[in-house]
Copies of this chain bind each other. A is one copy, B any other.
Amino acid sequence: MPVDVTLDDAAPDDYDAIVVPGGVINPGKMRRDKRCVDFVQHFFENRKPVAAICHGPQLLIETGLLKGRKMTSFPSIKTDIENAGATWYDTEIVVDNGLITSRSPKDLEAFNRKAIEEIKEGVHEHA
């Protein structure tokens, strides 16, 4: 993926929504970087859509804002999601008040469709 803008040059206020990708290495790096955690936290706090797939929800755990949320993730981190206070569902897509999550690349079709829907709706609400 070509990088449009680096984290240091990006301001969360300039964005209407965030999509957190998966992979087993990247989310582990992102969750250790306070700039990443603060960036995604902005979207939760401002009720903007947050979409995450696979291991992407590992970054969301770091915000401490998953308590009471409904979501899914790559199945291996199910217990970590539950221990963070969320309820975990074994389904291709979970949408909970602008939080859009999926389990793995095989859920991508549903994930992309719903993420786009929620982002359009979120932008509409903020317009």
Which one of A2-10, A78-86, A113-121 contacts B? A78-86
The verdict on A29 contacting B61 (CB below 8 Å), with A24-B24, A83-B83, A84-B83 known, is no
CA distance A24 to B74 in the complex (A): 13
Partner of A76, one of B32, B76, B83: B32
CA distance A83 to B62 in the complex (A): 10
A76–B28 CB distance below 8 A: yes
| A61 / chain B contacts, CB cutoff of 8 Å | 79-80, 83
CA distance A31 to B24 in the complex (A): 15
Residue from the set A24, A74, A76 with the largest chain B CB neighbour count within 10 Å = A76
Q: Say how far A77's CB is from chain B's closest CB, in angstroms.
A: 8
- 12 more A-B contacts (CB under 8 A) besides A24-B28, A61-B83, A79-B84? A24-B24, A24-B25, A28-B74, A28-B77, A31-B79, A32-B75, A32-B76, A58-B76, A61-B80, A62-B79, A83-B83, A83-B84
